[in-house]
Structure 1
Amino acid sequence: MQAAIKVMVVDDSAVVRQVVAGMLSATPGIVVIAAVADPLLAMERMKQQWPDVIVLDVEMPRMDGITFLRKIMSERPTPVVICSTLTEKGAKTTLEAMAAGAVAIVTKPKLGLKQFLVEASNDLVSTVKAAARANVRRLSPRAEGAAPLTAPVKHTADVILAPASGSPRAMAQTTERVIAIGTSTGGTQALEEVLTMLPRVSPGILIVQHMPEKFTAAFAARLDSICQIQVKEAETNDRIVPGRALIAPGGKHVLMKRSGAQYMVEVVDGPLVNRHRPSVDVMFRSVAKAAGVNALGIIMTGMGDDGAAGLLEMRNAGARTVAQDEESCVVFGMPKEAIKRGGVERIVPLGGVAQEIMKQL
């Protein structure tokens, strides 16, 4: 019989501690070993029993969550889920926590907190369970993010974009190649490793990283500051050109369009697809239709199956397709499902992804 997941909740809000600890304790296979108000109290309890997962706030008295997280990751790497308020200011602070090695972000509103946490209980439980399986020893001290809590409805890409019918003219081969990358849990650290390896002259890239809406702009700006290529949050009519990577904004879907010989981005609203917005499946389908054989699709570390169907559509449209290997993934869910469905042509370690991109020049 599998041992229960031991969880510690560290948050200065008594409401958060009460609601989160209650919903997790009510879940078979999870036991909350402590719910404390700050990191110093947490460290005292951890001397008695070490948790499998820590649900951690960022701004707390006596010691902030980032300092506590860095201490944990240096002494005894443990999966940490950051529970942070969704604000522009908080995004930068939370990204620091992600850089210290956390595996997921759970966003909490300023108002209606108790109702939000109760309504999102299934997704919070899923996030904690995924964190317990995360291979945190593979996390380097870089940026990390995950999908926000979402409703349990699961749509397919059909609600945003119809599947391709016949052979679209976009499948005609051109000299310009485009790259589409989809990732989730563990993805922001993986993206940092890949994008910082690319030279200034590299193929144009469109990225979906599951991340809350207030966080993607800060994430893109951080990558732009450390990469040779330009990295920015995608906006409608942005061109996908060599030397630039565009990151789908949180809370929106992103589509690739073709205008003559140029590839463009369209940012659209719409329902959650595979419980995500942006959805990797939506992006991959649009790339299959717009670019066909001129594209390379890459699916990397992440929980769930978003992107698996879309990558198969890309491969069927003549695109090259690559998946990150299990050994280098924090969570192998998304690549594993894409491989299972037959959408993956090559499986490579994280360190080989940049080389696959440069082969497209």
Structure 2
Amino acid sequence: MQHLPIRVLVVDDSDIIRRLLTEILNSDPGIVVVGAAADAFEAKALVNKLQPDVITLDVEMPEVDGIRFLEVLMKVRPTPVIMISTLTRSKADITLRALELGAVDYIAKPIVDDIAVFQRYSGTVINKVKMAAKSHVGHATKPPKAPAQLASRTNRVIAIGASTGGTEAIAHVLQQLPASHFAVVMTQHMPAGFTTTYADRLTRNTGFTVIEAQGGELVRPGYAYLAPGGYHMRVKRKGNELYTEVFDGEKVSGHKPSVDVLFDSVASEIGKFAMATLLTGMGKDGAQGLKKIQDSGGFTVAQDESTCVVFGMPRAAIELGAANAVVSLENIGETLIESLAPKSEN
């Protein structure tokens, strides 16, 4: 059976960027650029006329910017959108806002003065468009449940891993947890410069104080420690205390930071008291690490397909048999908490 090509609309106020993206995407036989728009008004008309499968959208455009256009689009005709942004700290908050509104992913504006870099960029753009075409957008996420109260006074560490779609998924999980009983360590695939801004947003929107880890932080309840962009993070036990370690190194499972690096350390340092959840994301990072946590006696949860933006990482974990539970996003916190309830003896 022959699959129809993915139909893409390119929206950018720069004629050079429009032409470059069109050339890159049309170079793949599985993709066809059906239109290009220079502003939001032209884009609106082309969306209605062409009904594209995926849209690449410039964050900064004259008159009506990409964020406002995205907000309207997701209410009227939910469509997978990849934001084209300058990946700098100053633009991080805008890009994170786009993900909050429903954009699937983001990518830097193309760099053309280095052939090798441009070729890698081209491959990334093509892969992200193909991923976006398979993503779930427009499904309503139920409001997070209020944090449940624990009967036990035991404090626990929860490890979270996520990629595409994870910025909002992580926020939902944190909102479901009583911060006074949990410390959280987490890896979200994200470039350098974004994680500081993301940590600040999570602090504002959840009950946790979220810190971009620098290494050496004591892991304690009420705090969530986020792996910094471009570095790996793991946990290390010293006596009865647990600390973060941040270090450089090769990519693991295709990523830096890597979820597998964090989960492996949680399995070895926390063992049977470990708790972990693997959320939405493309690829397999975290699947092997989740299995190690399970094998060490820890409790593991994978996000289900219906609430994932991209059902890649959780699917890989489920196929390995690494998840003790597979649940919807709105039930992950409750599932983790319920796992701590004393088991009744029959």
**What is the TM-score with the length of structure 1 in the denominator?**
0.86
| Secondary structure in structure 1 of the residue aligned to 2:20 | helix
- Asked whether the 8 Å contact 1:86–1:109 carries over to 2, the reply is no
Match of 1:188 among 150, 164, 167: 167
Change (3 A) 1:271 1:309: same
Partner amino acid, structure 2, of 1:283:
L
What does residue range 241-280 of structure 1 map to in structure 2 within 5 Å? 241-280=220-259
- Please report how far the alpha carbon of residue 276 of structure 1 lies from its aligned counterpart in structure 2 after TM superposition: 1.1
Bigger mean CA deviation after superposition, 208-217 or 13-22: 13-22
Alpha-carbon distance change, 226 to 294 in structure 1, aligned in 2, over 3 angstroms: same
State the match for 1:66 in structure 2.
67
Mapping for residues 144-159 of structure 1, pairs under 5 Å: none
Deviation at 1:247, TM superposition (A): 1.2
The aligned counterpart of 1:325 is 304
User: What pairs with 1:301-320 in structure 2 (closer than 5 Å)?
Assistant: 301-320=280-299
Q: What is the match of residue 219 of structure 2?
A: 240
Deviations 1:8-43 (A, max 9, x none): 111122232122111111112111011222222212
- Is this contact kept in 1: 2:186–2:224, CA < 8 A? yes
CA apart distance, 1:110? 7.3
- 2:30 match: 29
Name the SS of the counterpart of 2:132 in structure 1.
helix
Match of 2:263 in 1: 284
Q: Give 2:328's match in structure 1, choosing from 330, 335, 349.
A: 349
User: 1:283 deviation in Å?
Assistant: 0.8
Unaligned runs of 5+ in 1: 143-174
Provide the C-alpha distance between the structure 2 equivalents of 1:357 and 1:206, rounded to a whole number of angstroms. 15
Contact conserved, 1:109 with 1:116, CA < 8 A, in 2? no
- Equivalent residue runs for 1:1-361 within 5 Å: 1-108=2-109, 112=113, 116-138=117-139, 176-359=155-338, 360=340
**Separation in structure 2 between the aligned mates of residue 56 and residue 118 of structure 1, nearest angstrom:** 21
CA RMSD of aligned residues (A): 2.0
| CA 1:289–1:239: 2 relative to 1, 3 Å | same
Aligned amino acid, residue 162 of structure 2? T
**Residues 234 and 246 of structure 1 are in contact (CA less than 8 Å); yes or no, is this contact kept in structure 2?**
yes
Q: Is the 8 A contact 2:10 2:36 kept in 1?
A: yes
Q: Structure 1, residues 214-234: CA drift from partner, whole Å, max 9, x if none?
A: 111111101101212211211
**Alpha-carbon separation, structure 1, partners of 2:32 and 2:225:** 41
- Aligned residues of 2:184 and 2:225 also touching (Cα < 8 A): yes
The superposition leaves residues 277-310 of structure 1 with CA deviations (integer Å, 9 ceiling, x where unpaired) of: 1111111111111111121121111111111111
When the two structures are aligned, how many residues end up with a matched partner? 329
Q: Is the 8 A contact 2:216 2:244 kept in 1?
A: yes
Q: What SS class does the counterpart of residue 127 from structure 2 fall into?
A: helix
